[in-house]
């Protein structure tokens, strides 16, 4: 059997990883400034995390959601405390798309309506309603296009008001900071007015923090820069440091009913152990403080490179923008300098999503490599 060929692959095969480094099968060491697409939060194969998962596997790896699971309760309490979102309830699932799918479903259950407002360049996942709310027609099949979604420009509150006042909107879904689209973000005034207009019209405001959450922006959630309280927050990526887990944080506006949501695998024992360990390590190693320190350092050092037009994003969710396409640079950085970085829908942008434990000297390594690559291609 062959693999269904949907991913254009770089010719590198990682077989081992530790902290901010991965090694391929030939023993070549790579600096990981991509974190497997913003997933590795506390560093690869962190000792505490590995020990906790192995220990959990020795006890119980999985049982059904129709039975008590005290690890889910422990995770919810810890997450509430560390994120500052203690007033929300937690529903656990397996991925980012699934988190958004459940969030949109809750909004529709609550309001009895079905149109969604989303934004240009957004990415919310690949399942039914999540992909329909994603601004990319190429990844929507006809079956997805039966969803009612209106895409608006970011930071244009008047357009949002016009659409919401038509009276058929169940949810507005927005990323804390856009990831795949290329690090654009709403202004504080936009987020605050969005909250106001949603509350006034009883529309559910969903903050997709799947990529920008879990400390990556330098606060636990990126929306916390704007002093708002979304009705629903969705999480995944950094939550399990590579173990598949996602979650929906739900405000008390929405009342739970038996059978409203459900999943076989979501919130299983192993996934909860991984997620608890991530929060423990984030706290113990003060990874959000490190994120802010290293981010400031990155932004300072990158100013040494005149070819860079702009640095976008926050914390360790950064994009460096050129006025030319970066695919050649990205290839050279991987194959000649052995550093992983990310691309974006904006082809002029190099994305930096390292583990939150990355050090300043690892940023030095990247800056020097980027300077050399830029000299070589000019």
Ligand X SMILES: Cc1ncc(COP(=O)(O)O)c(C=O)c1O
Question: Closest CB to ligand X among 128 and 362?
Answer: 128
Contact assessment for residue 325 and residue 347, using Cβ atoms and an 8 Å cutoff: yes
**Least separation in angstroms between CB 257 and ligand X:** 25
Going by C-alpha positions, the residue among 154, 134, 166, 251 that lies closest to residue 194 is 154
Three-state SS annotation for 201-227: CCCEEEEECCCCCCCCCCCCCHHHHCC
The piece of 146-154, 162-170, 174-182, 297-305 that touches ligand X (CB under 6 A) is 174-182
Residue 213 in contact with ligand X, rule: CB under 6 A: no
Q: Is 340 in the site for ligand X (CB under 6 A)?
A: no
Q: Site mask, ligand X, residues 82-101, x = CB under 6 A?
A: -------------xxx--x-
From 47-55, 173-181, 270-278, 336-344, give the range in contact with ligand X by CB under 6 A: 173-181
Identify residues 233-292 at the interface with ligand X (CB under 6 A).
Answer: 236
Residue nearest to ligand X (CB): 96
Please state, in angstroms and rounded to a whole number, the distance separating the CA atoms of residues 243 and 215: 17
In whole angstroms, the minimum distance from the beta carbon of 237 to ligand X comes to 7
Contact 314, 295 (CB under 8 A): yes
Tokens at residue 296, please? 């400031």
Q: Does 36 bind ligand X (CB under 6 A)?
A: no
Q: Please, what is the minimum distance in Å from the beta carbon of residue 205 to ligand X?
A: 15
Report angle CA 323, 325, 327 to the nearest 5 degrees.
Answer: 145
Closer to ligand X at the Cβ: 42 or 236? Answer: 236
Among 101, 135, 208, 231, binds ligand X (CB under 6 A): 208
Q: Which is nearer to ligand X, 194 or 370 (CB)?
A: 194
Does the footprint of ligand X cover residue 123 (CB under 6 A)?
Answer: yes
Phi and psi torsions of 57, nearest 5°: -65, -35
* The only residue of 69, 128, 140, 211 in contact with ligand X, by rule CB under 6 A: 211
SS3 string, 308-342, reads: CCEEEEECCEEEEECCCCCHHHHHHHHHCCCEECE
Q: Which of residues 214-243 bind ligand X (CB under 6 A)?
A: 236
# residues near ligand X by CB under 6 A: 14
CB of 223 to ligand X, least distance (A): 13
| Helix, strand, or coil (residue 300) | helix
Euclidean distance between CA atoms 40 and 17, whole angstroms: 11
Q: Which stretch binds ligand X (CB under 6 A): 47-55, 204-212, 271-279, 337-345?
A: 204-212
Q: How far apart are CB 238 and ligand X at their closest, in Å?
A: 11
Task: Please list, in sequence order, all residues whose beta carbon lies within 8 angstroms of the beta carbon of residue 251, skipping any fewer than 6 positions away.
Answer: 87, 88, 229, 230, 231, 232
Q: Is 186 in the site for ligand X (CB under 6 A)?
A: no
Residue/partner pairs of 108-111 with CB below 8 Å, 24 or more apart: 108/170, 108/171, 109/254, 109/260, 110/170, 110/204, 110/253, 110/254, 111/169, 111/170, 111/171, 111/202, 111/203, 111/204
Question: Which residues does residue 91 pair with via DSSP β-bridges, in sequence order?
Answer: 248
Give Cα separations from 369 to 38, 94, 309 (angstroms).
21, 36, 18
Strand ranges across the sheet with 29-32: 14-18, 21-24, 29-32, 339-340
Least CB distance from residue 214 to ligand X, whole Å?
12
Residues from 125 through 164 that contact ligand X (CB under 6 A) = 125
> Which residue lies nearer to ligand X by CB, 237 or 332?
237
Stretch of residues binding ligand X (CB under 6 A), selected from 75-83, 203-211, 277-285, 349-357: 203-211
Q: Which residues bind ligand X (CB under 6 A)?
A: 95-97, 100, 123-125, 175, 179-180, 208, 210-211, 236
């Amino acid at each position: 059997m062959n693999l269904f060929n949907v991913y254009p692959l770089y010719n590198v095969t990682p077989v081992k990883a530790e902290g901010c480094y991965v090694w391929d099968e030939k023993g070549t060491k790579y600096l990981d400034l991509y974190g497997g697409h913003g997933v590795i939060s506390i560093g690869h194969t962190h000792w505490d995390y590995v020990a906790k998962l192995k220990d959990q596997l020795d006890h119980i790896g999985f049982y059904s959601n129709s039975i008590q699971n005290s690890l889910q309760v422990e995770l919810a309490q810890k997450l509430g405390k560390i994120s500052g979102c203690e007033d929300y309830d937690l529903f656990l699932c397996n991925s980012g798309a699934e988190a958004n799918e459940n969030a949109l479903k809750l909004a529709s259950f609550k309001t009895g309506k079905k149109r969604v407002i989303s934004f240009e360049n957004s990415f919310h996942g690949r399942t039914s309603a999540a992909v329909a709310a994603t601004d990319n027609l190429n990844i929507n099949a006809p079956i997805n296009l039966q969803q009612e979604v209106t895409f608006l420009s970011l930071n244009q509150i008047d357009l949002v008001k016009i659409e919401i006042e038509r009276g058929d909107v169940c949810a507005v879904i927005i990323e804390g900071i856009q990831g795949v689209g290329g690090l654009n973000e709403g202004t504080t005034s936009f987020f605050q007015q969005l909250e106001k207009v949603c509350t006034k019209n009883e529309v559910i405001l969903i903050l997709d923090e799947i990529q920008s959450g879990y400390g990556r922006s330098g606060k636990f959630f990126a929306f916390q820069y704007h002093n708002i309280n979304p009705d629903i927050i969705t999480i995944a990526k950094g939550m399990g440091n590579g173990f598949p887990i996602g979650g929906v944080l739900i405000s008390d506006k929405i009342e739970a009913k038996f059978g409203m949501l459900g999943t076989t695998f979501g919130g299983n024992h192993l996934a909860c152990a991984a997620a608890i360990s991530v929060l423990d390590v984030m706290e113990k190693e003060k990874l959000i403080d490190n994120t802010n320190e290293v981010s400031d350092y990155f932004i300072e050092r990158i100013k040494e490179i005149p070819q860079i037009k702009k640095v976008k994003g926050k914390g360790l969710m950064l994009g460096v923008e050129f006025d030319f396409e970066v695919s050649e640079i990205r290839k050279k950085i991987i194959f000649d300098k052995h550093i992983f970085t990310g691309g974006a829908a904006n082809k002029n942008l190099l994305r930096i999503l390292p583990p939150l434990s990355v050090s300043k000297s690892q940023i030095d390594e990247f800056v020097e490599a980027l300077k050399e690559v830029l000299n070589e291609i000019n």
